[in-house]
Structure formats: structure tokens, C-alpha cells
Amino acid sequence: MAEAPLFRAMEGRDVELEWLPFELRPYPHETLSPHSDYIQKAWHNNVLPLAERLNVTMKLNMTDPQPHTHLAHEGLLFAKERDNGKANDYADRVFRAFYEGGEDIGDSEVLRKHAEAAGFDGEDFSKALAERTYSQARQASIRRAHQEGIQAVPTFIIGEKRMTGLQPEEAYAEALDEEGA
């Protein structure tokens, strides 16, 4: 949802977006149930009203418990290594699968389907996930994020400016203008 105003601010600008892995509740920590009071209150009081205001389609994913994202992130690193241009397509498909389609993005077959739709070889993708080829790179990316003080999702970094949480389009545009100058 937070990327919607960022994407609008990026329109007509020569900028590149790079998604990096980050986990709020990394495996083996337990993830939350969509039926929990915390998720229900956050969804109905904050997330859904903001999504409606931003005209963003979001549905509460009822996968219970919520999936861990380490395999999705390893899939992103696979995609970035093979074709960075298609990696953002993979990331977008995984986001939509979870937030619009209610899919379990902790399932390697679900991830494979979206990797193939983004143009990647499904066999190579599945092998990389099964062998955990990108596990160390994912862990290194997350360690780097923690070392840089990142503690929230989403966090966008534009040049030297760090922007956490939902920001208005104008704030992103200003940061992009400053970085472009």
C-alpha cells in the first residue's frame, strides 16, 4: 500500500526501485494469526481505511498463521541475480498474491507460479528454493538492514533520506527531487 504514492511520485522520473529482503518476524519466530485481535483491529481501523483512501486493492490474507517470507525473499534474490528488470515484476506478483489473492506466499509452489509468470524458469527457481541457495544472501541483507537501523516495513531509502511507513506522494517527490539535484 505504501508503494502506491511512491510509484505515483516516480512517474516520469528516471529512477530505479530495488526491493530488499526484510522480515519483521523471521523464522522460527511465530507469525500472527489473521484472526487475532491485533491483526483484526489493525486491519479494520488502519489498513483497510488507508487502502480505500489510496484506492489500493487489499484484502486481509486469511492464511493462518501468516506465512514466513524467507522463501519469497530468497526467490527475490534468485530473480535479481538472473534478471534484475524482472525481479520487480516477481516482487509485485508476490505482493499481489498475498494482499489481493489471499495466497500463501510461504509455499514454494505458489512462489514458483509467480516466478514463472514473471518469466523465470520454474525448475531453476524451485531448485534454488529447495537447496536454499540464497539463504545466506537473504540473512546478510537482513543483518545489513538491522545494522542500518531499519526496524519497520515499509522503509524506503531515497539517497540519504530514510522514509518509514506510509508517506504522502509529495514527500516522496520532494526526496526524489533532492536526490536528483
Q: What pLDDT is attached to residue 76?
A: 98
Q: What is the identity of the amino acid at 176? A: L
21 prior amide bond cis, ω within 30: no
3-state secondary structure of 177: helix
The span from the CA of 167 to the CA of 94, in Å, is 22
Cell numbers placing 107: 509455499
Which residues have C-beta within 8 Å of that of residue 82, sequence separation ≥ 6?
A: 120, 124
- Per-residue confidence (pLDDT) for residue 181, from 0 to 100: 58
Q: What does the pLDDT profile of the chain (181 residues) look like in tens digits?
A: 778 899 999 999 999 899 999 998 888 899 999 999 999 999 999 999 989 988 889 999 999 999 999 999 999 999 999 998 899 999 999 999 999 999 999 999 999 999 999 999 999 999 999 999 999 999 999 999 999 999 988 999 999 899 998 899 999 999 999 988 5
Q: Which residues lie closer than 8 Å to 73 by C-beta, 6 or more apart?
A: 21, 23, 134, 138, 141
Q: How far is CA 52 from CA 1, 57, 59, 179, in A?
A: 10, 7, 11, 30
